[in-house]
Amino acid sequence: MKVGIAGSGLIVDTLFDFIGNLKQIEIVAIVATSRSIDKLNKLSKEHDIKYVYTDYRLFLENKEFDTVYLDVPNHLHYLMAK
C-alpha cells in the first residue's frame, strides 16, 4: 500500500513511531499548510517521503499513492475526505 499523509499535526509523530515496522506500507507524499513547510521538509528527510505539498489539490493529483491518511483536526475529516 502506498500512502499519502494529509496533515502534519501531533498524531503524525505517533504514526511514524510504528509505520516503519509495517513493510507493506510506503509513505510517498505528505501535504499540509504552507505554515507547516519546515515540519513537512523535516518529516520528508527523516522518513524518506518523496513528495511534499502545501496544496491539497496538487497532492491529490499524485497517482503514486492509493490511500490517504488524514492527520487533520477532527472537524476537517469530512471536508477532506469528501
CATH number, domain at 22?
A: 3.40.50.720
The whole-number pLDDT of residue 82 equals 80
**How many Å apart are CA 39 and CA 22, to the nearest integer?**
23
Handedness of CA 55, 56, 61, 63 (dihedral sign): positive
Query: Rounded to two decimals, what is the model's pTM?
Result: 0.90
Element (H, E) at 74: none
What the block records as the C-alpha cell of 48 is 524518506
Find out whether 24 and 2 touch, Cβ atoms under 8 Å: no
% of residues, the chain, pLDDT over 90: 67
Domain span including residue 16 = 2-81
Total count of domains within the chain: 1
